[in-house]
Amino acid sequence: MKLYLILPMLLWCLNSSAQKYNFEKEYKGIEPKVIDWRRDFHQNPELSNREFNTAEKIASHLKSLGIEVQTGVAKTGVVGILKGNRNGKVIALRADIDALPVTERNDLPFKSTVTSEFLGQEVGVMHACGHDTHTAILMGVAEILSKNRDKIKGTVKFIFQPAEEGPPPGEEGGALLMVKEGVLKNPDVDAIFGLHINSSTPVGVIRYKSEGLMAAVQRFVIKVEGKQTHGSQPWKGIDPILISAKIIDGLQTIISREVDLTNEAAVISVGKITSGVRFNIIPESAEMIGTIRTLDYDMQKQITERMKEMVPDIAKTYGGTATIEIKSNTDITFNKPELVTQMLPTLNRVAGKENVQIQKAVTGGEDFSYFQNEVPGFFFFLGGMTPGNTSSFPHHTPDFSIDENGMILGVKALTEMSLDFLNN
């Protein structure tokens, strides 16, 4: 038979097989549960590496479904293993479970009033990035798939990951620690899927990008040493605050004058400066902390090398000294093109082709990237904004909120992506 006749038949068979799931009754039944779980997690958030009660609720739910459960993974993580009735490949699904040191301003019946200690300070705690929705969505997926083992050819591994926002200083955590502890082994994972709800994407819409979707994140610390003097006699000292200002100005020229931004976006931002104790004293030292965001590893290398050259040279020009330390927080969230191509028909089916849209790369970071360094992965954005809204509050802010009507599409997408990947 001619190839041009065979291919349409194969595609029809794949699509026809996928249509047989017919889970609309299950989706309708699970949606209220997913919303209730999300509200419970939202009202009772826990910071990174401290998600003890969250983990207990997740583990209890998975055990009630007859899923094999592992706890204490990467400190507070939970892993569920669901084996289908037939042997096959292994797909992993990941949800992050930690909250942020943010005091909520939303007027909700399930508003968080939780407080905790963060870096020695009393802070409010809030799910200000949507991890509560991710956790509830994956619990819903687990329930549906556990009741349909006969449709699973292979194994589904549910990864509930702590500390996506980063472990506390001096601790390990997050996806990197999970990988280190072998979460993608026994059974060995063939591919991994993940999603992130988005407050500026309308409900019902899924956005994705092949290859680099989210930036590599690096943290830098610059320490400047000058010479203390009276504020009325700056010529008798060396001003570390002035040097810090010149360094900040210089760093921005790397982005604006040295890096080819037509290739990919890049950002250098200083988020904190600490120096001085009194209005009339020029201090002896200053410290700056900031972030570097890149979507291309060659650009990352160019930027970090120039920063290491520039910082001490600028300080020397003004009579002081400076050191810089750069550490990686996440790698580039890289969607393997072949996997994206394979799974797009599933997303088009569950959301409607017109609602599956290409996303430009963003300079936010995701430690899901560490899973993708080990196995092929596909990470996408799920709409959480009420349709018709013209504005929304950003993630990581006290006013962040999502429309809960968007969560069921996440359940549908991860459920059917898993089955399509395993069965086809």
The catalytic site residues sit at 98, 164
Task: Look at residues 80, 74, 82, 75 and name the one whose alpha carbon lies nearest to residue 94.
Answer: 80
Q: Beta strand pairing status for 86-96 and 356-358? A: unpaired
As a whole number of angstroms, the distance between CA 191 and CA 335 comes to 11
Count the neighbouring beta carbons within 10 Å of the beta carbon of residue 383.
27
Q: How far is CA 159 from the centre of its chain?
A: 14
In whole angstroms, give the CA distance from residue 284 to residue 301: 32
CB 251 within 8 A of CB 307: yes
Q: What is the chain's length?
A: 424
Q: Phi, psi at residue 183, to the nearest 5°? A: -65, -25
Handedness of CA 252, 328, 76, 90 (dihedral sign): positive
Cα–Cα distance measured from residue 154 to residue 86, given in angstroms and rounded to the nearest whole number:
6
Residue 141: its H or E element: helix 131-146
